[in-house]
Amino acid sequence: MEREINITKKADEFLQIFKKGEEFTQELLKENEKLRFRLAQLEDAIERSGDEAKIKLYEDRIKTTEEELNSLKERYRQVEEENKDFAVKYIEVEEENNNLANLYVASYQLHSTLDFNEVLRIVLEIVINLIGAEKFAVLLIEEKTNELVPVATEGMSIANVPKVKFGEGIIGTVAKEGESYFSEHIHNRSNGSEEEPIVGIPLKIKEHVIGVIAIYSLLAQKEKFSNIDYELFNLLAGHAATAIFSSRLYTQSERKLTTIQSFLDLLKEKPRR
């Protein structure tokens, strides 16, 4: 009987231990479940924190790219501005080249001959073709009479251009003072009189005036004077004067040489008689 009681007691103890083991196992399972849940949460958090890092990285990249794009846009704008500047400068250089070509040709032609009449013809050509004058005259100072005498004209008869006293009127004043004259009304003076030119250009060798180019009217299509016209006037003032002066001297010396040569020939012939 006592033995049975012992066995029952031991069985109860075993059951108690078993139940405790069961409870412990249940607790372990619950704990395991909690840990799994926690692990899942942590994994999720880690994953999410990775996305955020990537998003931040992408945002940084977008920001950098935008900055680069803005910088490139700014550079592009600057290059466009520079291009515009270059285009403007190119046009200016082209214009300057063309003006220099005009001046070169005018100067080349003026000094291409020592024939007085040829030089006058070239002066007329330049004033007609390069400046666009319609009626004008070239007057030279006659030292003996102190008058400006017309030697060549275009668009008007030389007989219609009166001689001018040095220092008198527009032409005489231009000759005396050696300063160019430009009328303020070049457009309304298409029928300028032979006494009042719209432009007077002194022909000067250094400060010595030898004559005047007097322009009375411009071609209908010539609306105004441009920078190159003033350059041409300056060129004419100096180069035309030199060309006219030297060709006149040369022509005179040629004439004298011919006279002397004829005289010498005459002297040589005399002893034969």
Burial 172-187 (b: 16+ CB within 10 A, else e): bbbbeebebbebeebe
129 lies in the site for another protein, by CB under 8 A: yes
Closer CB to another protein, residue 79 or residue 91? 91
126 lies in the site for another protein, by CB under 8 A: yes
Distance between alpha carbon 47 and the CA centroid of its chain, in Å?
64
Rule CB under 8 A: choose which of 58, 76, 86, 108 binds another protein.
108
Return the bridge partners of 153, or none. Answer: 137
The dihedrals phi and psi of 216, each to the nearest 5 degrees, come to -100, -30
128 lies in the site for another protein, by CB under 8 A: yes
Site for another protein in 38-97 (CB under 8 A): 91, 94-95
222 lies in the site for another protein, by CB under 8 A: yes
Question: Are 251 and 140 spatial neighbours (Cβ–Cβ below 8 Å)?
Answer: no
Question: Are 203 and 236 spatial neighbours (Cβ–Cβ below 8 Å)?
Answer: yes
215 lies in the site for another protein, by CB under 8 A: no
Selection from 179, 178, 251, 252 nearest residue 209 by Cα: 178
Rule CB under 8 A: choose which of 40, 79, 105, 260 binds another protein.
105
Selection from 142, 134, 109, 113 nearest residue 123 by Cα: 109
171 lies in the site for another protein, by CB under 8 A: no
Identity of residue 36: R
130 lies in the site for another protein, by CB under 8 A: yes
Closer CB to another protein, residue 98 or residue 146? 98
7 lies in the site for another protein, by CB under 8 A: no
243 lies in the site for another protein, by CB under 8 A: no
Chain residues that interact with another protein, rule: CB under 8 A: 91, 94-95, 98, 101-102, 104-106, 108-109, 112, 122, 125-126, 128-132, 134, 219-222
